[in-house]
Amino acid sequence: MKVVIVGGVAGGATAAARIRRLDEQAEIVVFERSGYISYANCGLPYYIGDVITDPEELTLQTPESFFSRFRVDMKVRHEVTAIHPERKTVSVKNLETDEVFEESYDKLILSPGAKPTQPRLPGVGIDKLFTLRTVEDTFRIKEYINQNHPKSAVLAGGGFIGLELAENLRELGMDVTIVQRPKQLMNPFDADMASMIHSEMRKHGVKLALGYTVEGFEERNGGVDVLLKDNAPLHADMVVLAIGVTPDTALAREAGLELGIKGSIVVNDRMETSVPDIYAAGDAVQVKHYVTGEDALISLAGPANKQGRIIADNICGGDSRYLGSQGSSVIKVFDMTAATTGINETNARKAGLDVDTVILSPMSHAGYYPGGKVMTMKVVFEKGTYRLLGAQIVGYDGVDKRIDVLATAIHAGLKATQLKDLDLAYAPPYSSAKDPVNMAGFMIDNISKGLKQWHLHDADKLPRDGSVILLDTRTAWEYSSGHIEGFVNIPVDELRERLDEIEPGKPVYVICQSGLRSYIATRILEGYGHEAYNFAGGFRFYDAVVNDRALVESSFACGMDK
């Protein structure tokens, strides 16, 4: 059996190694357009920022080491230019010699990945405008920085690459601005959770120009003007386009393979394309979202590696199936960690799901043990069924392990109420006896048993005409330091003695700093016959989101986020 693989990074390299482990006799040829195989895309920004200093650390394997271990013929700087399914060959161009030849296959695997989205705008292509996708891109940016010592950069795009590159350029001492059309960074997060990412970016000196439309680029005064619709241009010494990626599927289109979202390759759960004996994996393929079952594009390394393994199993006589992508991801944002899995509240509502959320701010470990730090968790679930749909966490310590527990719970089909039952490891330096994931489960269990909540989007709609009671249960000092207009202050520890101030028959909307004291207050109020609603997230959460919204809107109106 002869297997030809187009693309030698995540999916392609994984498939090649797995095929060899399953079939010692197979002939395996990999064609990789760049000069590198099996490289760590996710590590590229950290080389630019000198966190990773040895360029060899970016590549997990070389063609020579891969051949030595697996006897796989890795041909770098070779571009497959056409697929001929009718005769089961591919046309290949050697980019170093310009030689063109055909290679036959019994099975063909397409793992071409995705390419940086290049908008058709004036100025795209000027030499101070970069993209970051390959090792060569990384070396090009690093060489420009080392030779020209730029003092400022504009990054067009606020996704994973944009944020990671912003951090690394700031660590090099550069003035950094992120500009993009959406009014929030990191679309996998809801806007309320993204506000905390915005705060961390601003804290470290990154300027945010959110809600701006880029219309082009011009070279001026030795740098680049980023032209903005209805606003003055942004000027910088260099610009990086990081507005997303597009499946690199021209080969598949020309060969007549069925295509899906944004031209991605349609595959079944065995990773087979519409053409016999051709498989596809990675950022180029359309997948099913594990939570919604809808078609999706999810460009992450984990799914690509799994898909490569599944293809290898099936080529070698097995029957492996890809169950879908869940979108679990984590990112370092300076000192902070932000992570997500499943779908967020925004996308759940767009999908027509009837959802609710809990928002909590637990400590990363036992409060009495030194060094604990607050994290903010948002868990999304379906009303009625309590199906667990997704989660987002932003914090400093312990974020990654909690998101992985929640990702596992979603994959296992646990109900959100069952989070309370998980038996999770505890010692004071690592967690609390009631782990944050358990706490989310307790809160959702309370809701399933009748506890009522109100949310951030309700705040402006609450009547101030006396028909409802608005109650802040923090201390008098906390209240005086900032509160929501119209809320009266009765500290929770004084509530039982001051119940005569709560008029019977009126709903009571309660808030505290984190949600705990207001929860206790709602229980007290319910115990005395009142209808009470607890605010999801607490005043700390409310204040962070509202302040961020004001900064984004004012910066948009004034021309820049300072």
The verdict on whether 42 is a catalytic residue reads yes
The pLDDT of residue 553 is 85
The pLDDT of residue 562 is 39
User: If DSSP codes are grouped into helix, strand and coil, which group holds residue 106?
Assistant: coil
The pLDDT of residue 120 is 84
520 exposure class (CB count in 10 Å sphere: 0-12, 13-18, 19+) = middle
517 exposure class (CB count in 10 Å sphere: 0-12, 13-18, 19+) = buried
**Is-above-0.85 flag for pTM?**
yes
322 exposure class (CB count in 10 Å sphere: 0-12, 13-18, 19+) = buried
User: Which whole-number Å values give the CA distances from 414 to 285, 340, 387, 421, 498, in the listed order?
Assistant: 28, 17, 7, 10, 42
The pLDDT of residue 329 is 96
The pLDDT of residue 556 is 58
| Catalytic residue of the set 42, 316, 512, 558 | 42
The pLDDT of residue 558 is 52
How is residue 190 written in tokens? 């809801």
pLDDT in tens, the chain (562 residues): 999 999 998 899 999 999 999 999 999 999 999 888 877 677 888 989 989 888 777 777 888 888 899 999 999 999 999 999 999 999 999 999 999 999 999 999 999 998 888 888 888 889 999 998 888 888 999 999 999 999 999 999 999 999 999 999 999 999 999 999 999 999 999 999 999 999 999 999 999 999 999 999 999 999 999 999 999 999 999 999 988 889 999 999 999 999 999 999 999 999 999 999 999 999 999 999 999 999 999 988 899 999 999 999 999 999 999 999 999 999 999 999 999 999 999 999 999 999 999 999 999 998 889 999 999 999 999 999 999 999 999 999 999 999 999 999 999 999 999 999 999 999 999 999 999 999 999 999 999 999 999 999 999 999 999 999 999 999 999 999 999 999 999 999 999 999 999 999 999 999 999 999 999 999 999 999 999 999 999 999 999 999 999 998 876 555 554 3
How is residue 544 written in tokens? 């962070």
Backbone angles phi, psi at 413, to 5 degrees: 80, 20
The answer to whether the CB of 98 falls within 8 A of the CB of 55 is no
CA distance 2 to 95: 23
The pLDDT of residue 88 is 97
The answer to whether the CB of 193 falls within 8 A of the CB of 202 is no
- The one-letter code for the residue type at 54 is D
